[in-house]
Chains A and B, each alone.
Chain A
Amino acid sequence: MTEWRSTLARQRYLLDFTVAAMKRRRARNLGLLLVYGGMVFLLASVLFYTGALKHEAGLLLAEAPEIVVQRMVAGRHDLIPETHAETLRRIRGIRAVQGRLWGYHYDPVVRANYTLLVPPSDDIAPGTTVIGPALARARGAGIGDVLSFRGHDGALRAFRIQAVLPQESGLVSADLFLVAEPDFRALFGVPAGQYTDLALRIPNAREIQTVAEKVLETLPDSRPILREEMLRTYDAVFDWRSALVLLPLSGALLAFAILAWEKASGLSADERREIGILKAVGWETGDVLAMKLWEGGLLSLLAFLFGTAAAYWHVFGLSAPLLAPVMQGWSVLYPAFRLTPAIDATQLLALFFLTVLPYLAATLVPVWRAAVTDPDEVMR
Chain B
Amino acid sequence: MNARVELRGVRKAFHEDRPNVFWAVDGIDLVLPAGGVTVLAGPSGSGKTTLLTLIGCLARPTEGRVRLDGRDISGLPEPFLAALRRQTFGFVFQRFNLIRGLTVLDNVMLPAYPLGPPHRALTRRANAALERLGIGHRAGALVESLSGGEAQRTAIARALINDPAVLIADEPTANLDTALSLAFLDIVSDLRAEGRTLLLSSHDPLVREASVVDRAVELRDGRVVADHETRAEPAG
Contacts and interface: CB of A to CB of B under 8 A. Distances in A.
Most buried by A among B93, B113, B117, B162: B113
Nearest to A378: B97
Nearest to A9: B116
Interface stretch (A74-82, A255-263, A282-290): A282-290
A372 interface: yes
Nearest to B164: A282
A9 B118 contact: yes
A275 B234 CA distance: 40
Contact of A284 (B49, B79, B93, B102): B79
A197 B58 CA distance: 84
Nearest to B83: A282
B118 A379 contact: no
Interface in B77-112: 78-79, 82-83, 85-87, 91, 93-94, 97, 99-102, 106, 110-111
B106 A10 contact: no
A327 B24 CA distance: 68
A376 B115 contact: no
Contacts of B170: 379
Contacts of B85: 279-282, 375
Contacts of B200: none
B110 A281 contact: yes
Contact of B158 (A6, A24, A281): A281
A369 interface: no
B109 to A, nearest CB: 8
A133 B111 CA distance: 68
Given A274-B99, A282-B86, A285-B78, A6 B58 contact: no
Q: Is the interface of A mostly helix, strand, loop or mixed?
A: helix
Interface string A10-47: 11111001001101100000000000000000000000
Contacts, number: 100
B59 interface: yes
A372 B78 contact: yes
A6 B113 contact: no
A369 B91 CA distance: 23
Interface residues of B, number: 36
A287 B93 CA distance: 21
B114 A284 contact: yes
Contacts of A9: 116-119
B106 A20 contact: yes
A206 interface: no
B2 interface: no
B60 interface: yes
Residue of B58, B114, B117 ringed by the most chain A CB atoms within 10 A: B114
Nearest to B114: A287
Contact of B59 (A6, A273, A278, A376): A376
A280 B58 CA distance: 6
Given A282-B82, A380-B49, A14 B113 contact: yes
Contacts of B117: 6, 9
A277 interface: yes
A7 interface: yes
B58 A278 contact: no
A17 B100 contact: no
B23 to A, nearest CB: 15
Interface string B45-67: 00001101100001110000000
Given A13-B116, A281-B85, A282-B114, A374 B58 contact: yes
A281 B111 contact: yes
A8 interface: yes
A64 to B, nearest CB: 63
Interface string A280-305: 11111111000000000000000000
A7 B113 CA distance: 10
Instruction: Please name the 6 residue pairs, one residue from A and one from B, whose CB atoms are nearest each other, closest first.
Output: A282-B86, A10-B116, A24-B101, A9-B116, A376-B59, A6-B116
Interface of A: 5-14, 17, 20-21, 23-24, 273-274, 277-287, 372, 374-376, 378-380
8 contacts: A6-B117, A10-B115, A17-B110, A282-B85, A283-B114, A376-B53, A376-B59, A378-B58
Given A280-B91, A379-B94, 20 more contacts: A8-B116, A9-B117, A13-B119, A14-B113, A20-B101, A24-B100, A279-B85, A281-B86, A281-B91, A282-B111, A283-B111, A284-B79, A284-B83, A285-B78, A372-B78, A374-B53, A374-B58, A376-B50, A379-B49, A380-B49
